[in-house]
Structure 1
């Protein structure tokens, strides 16, 4: 039986009309902060920090309920897609069992 799950959502936000990093940060930072307030998730700006026209953000949550994680990440994804002067160009969701990640439940081959 799984003890819990870790869910991770990555979103690539594109804004080709933005011409500088300051303008991009003004678009991305508020959505990152609103995600943290609205949902029980951790959010990080992962890649594209030095690019002015795109950024990759990551959203993570942990629970013992697989379905709850799916719903939470879906709501977070919909929230990001609905609000901002950017477009979501790519999205990936992965939910992993903590047992698998921690190596619990694996049988020892030597026994």
Structure 2
């Protein structure tokens, strides 16, 4: 078993309130859950209206499949025009670590 996590630091576009931020972040979280079957949440910068850190976690039987899923999630977020992906930190662990 392999467990992988991805921490995505995002700069949101033309956002002036926490309400506007939620209108961008919530649909992103829902889409990632639905498309990639991963666990996802906003994990940092919750009080800032132009920044968000999104945490993504996935479990797979093979390392290659896990890397493919995390790569696809990262590409999907990076392609969104309403936000800029500032950084992505990835961690992979084997079940016997």
Q: Which residue of 1 aligns with 2:93?
A: 96
Number of equivalent positions: 97
Gaps of 5+ in 2: none
For residue 84 of structure 1, report the CA deviation from its aligned partner. 4.2
For residue 37 of structure 1, report the CA deviation from its aligned partner. 0.4
SS class of match (2:96): helix
Gaps of 5+ in 1: 101-111
The structure carrying a bigger strand percent of its residues is 2
Q: Which residue of 2 aligns with 1:105?
A: none
Match of 2:25 among 10, 24, 28: 28
Q: Which residue of 1 aligns with 2:64?
A: 67
Match of 2:39 among 21, 37, 42: 42
For residue 17 of structure 1, report the CA deviation from its aligned partner. 3.5
When Rg is computed on C-alpha atoms for both structures, the one with the higher figure is 1
TM-score of the pair, normalised by structure 1: 0.83
Deviates more, 1:81-90 or 1:15-24: 15-24
RMSD of the TM alignment (CA)?
A: 1.1
TM-score of the pair, normalised by structure 2: 0.94
| CA distance in structure 1 between the aligned counterparts of 2:82 and 2:93, rounded to whole angstroms | 31
1:82 pairs with 2:79:
yes
Check the 8 A contact 1:27/1:84 in 2, yes or no. Answer: no
Match of 1:58 among 51, 55, 79: 55
SS class of match (1:99): coil
